[in-house]
Amino acid sequence: MSVTSSGRLPLVVSLDDPEPMYRQIEHQVRRLILGGQLSPGTALPSVRALASDLACSVITTRRAYQELESGGFIRTRQGMGTVVAELSEGARDAFRREPVEQAIREAVREGIDAGMTGAELREVFEKAIVGERGHEEVSGD
Amino acid sequence: MTDVMLGLKGVTKTYPGFRLGPVDLDIERGYIVAVVGPNGSGKSTLFRLLMGLTHPDAGQIRRFGAATGDDIAIASRIGYVPERAIGHDQMSALDLGTFYAHWYPAFDRERYDAAIDAMGIEWGKAFGKLSKGMQRRVSYTLAMATDPELLLLDELTDGVDPFARREMTTDIAGFMETGERTVVFATHNMDEVRRLADYVVLLVNGRFLGMYEKDALVHGWRRAWLERQPDSETPGVVSVSAGEPVEVVSSLWGETARSLAAQGIVIERTAPVDLTEILERVMNGAEGADGERPWPVAGETRSVRMP
């Protein structure tokens, strides 16, 4: 399913989240772009429209857009508004893998701290994949 | 280059038994600024000063970058909805439309007519005989139909039903879409501040207690429950309630949290602080000598600036 500019972006900012609001927006929009819900060329709401939807200020939404733009996720052209940028397959892949790799690195570090061997870690990893398959198909094998 | 729509420098206005100011602030193009404070704080006086209907006793007001006084050309670029529309009572919606069309070159008669029809207002009925909420809506429609660059809204939604109120909020966001216009509004409704404002100006008994970037203000404050009493020098802490666990309120949560970590104090739970409570605490904190607060507040600024 894709998201169009005519609707609201499915974003939720929360004051319970210790992350500043602009970071929350930045991360969620990035996830929508990487997940393909926002495809290249899709027009994004203006900073004011987004601020109004999220009940935050344009200072916050502008900052989120600036971060996304410097990350290459969106483009803003004078008078044309803001659109989702074309991401190279390599970039998309790297962004998709990055948080997963980081989570696995952290898990491995925990395992090492707990005194596990490489064989044991591999076994836990394999078991986790099999376990997750019960809820959701892991593709590619 | 900065684009200051409203610049106030040391502005004061005194009436018998009341003094507003000194007010120092710059409001730039493209922002929505909420003016909040208890009744009798000087909000309407501030709006009359901004509109050029009254002049400061001291200090300077620059509108659209110019310091000239009650220039008609300047007034025609401002959409003003006063708290009470003086002189409108005997006029009907039809009279008001004709009057505005005569005085405001940019007045969009079609848009005004369509809006009055949509509200179901009788064209011949005197303004003074309309309900308060309807009067507010007519005044708003008149102001918007002049296609202003600057909107000054004094208690716009007072007496307006929640549906029309919400419609106005959406309409104002749409008005601000291009980033070329500016809105200053006074309200008692915190939900409107939350939904609309970029900055909040706080006035209490004529005293200007600062302009705050709304999100930084709201995000900076936090209530937390701790396993034990923090050091009395802990930065940002504005109140500590004894008990189990210890409840603290911080106006600079980032710094407070860092200090608590250094003190080795476990934070059991935190929660955001409601905007009304934040503003109340800022007001009360300033009640001491010389209006100086004993603690700093996140998001305080004297000038609305592009980041």
Q: pLDDT by residue for chain B (307 residues), tens digit each?
A: 468 999 999 999 999 999 998 999 999 999 999 999 999 999 999 999 999 899 999 999 999 987 765 577 888 899 999 988 888 999 999 999 999 999 888 999 999 999 999 999 999 999 999 999 999 999 999 999 999 999 999 999 999 999 999 999 999 999 999 999 999 999 999 999 999 999 999 999 999 999 999 999 998 999 999 999 999 889 999 999 988 889 999 999 989 999 999 999 999 999 999 999 999 998 887 655 454 566 677 777 655 443 3
Q: Mean pLDDT check: name the lowest of A3-12, A47-56, B260-269.
A: A3-12
Pairwise CB contact (< 8 Å): B219 & A15: yes
**In chain B, at which residue ranges do the beta strands (DSSP E only) sit?**
4-15, 18-28, 32-36, 58-63, 78-81, 150-154, 182-186, 199-204, 207-213, 222-226, 237-241, 246-250, 267-272, 300-301
Chain A residues lying within 8 Å of B270, measured CB to CB: 18
Q: Letter for the amino acid at B257?
A: A
Helix axes B132-145, B162-175, angle to 10 degrees: 10
CA dihedral A39, A43, A47, A48 (to 10 degrees): -130
Note whether B215 contacts A59, CB cutoff 8 Å: yes
Q: Which residue has the higher pLDDT, A104 or A17?
A: A104
Q: What is the pTM of this model?
A: 0.85
**Largest alpha-carbon pair distance within chain B?**
72
pLDDT at A139: 53
Contacting residues of A for B215, CB less than 8 Å apart? 21, 56-57, 59-60
Distance from the A13 Cα atom to the nearest Cα atom in chain B, whole angstroms: 12
Residue A96: pLDDT above 90? no
User: How many interface pairs between A and B have CB atoms less than 8 angstroms apart?
Assistant: 49
**C-alpha–C-alpha distance, residues A87 and A39, integer Å:** 10
pLDDT reported for residue A88: 77
* A8 vs B contacts (CB less than 8 Å): none
The answer to whether residue A5 scores a pLDDT higher than 60 is no
* CB-nearest partner of B272 from A15, A20, A46: A15
Q: What is the pLDDT of residue B69?
A: 58
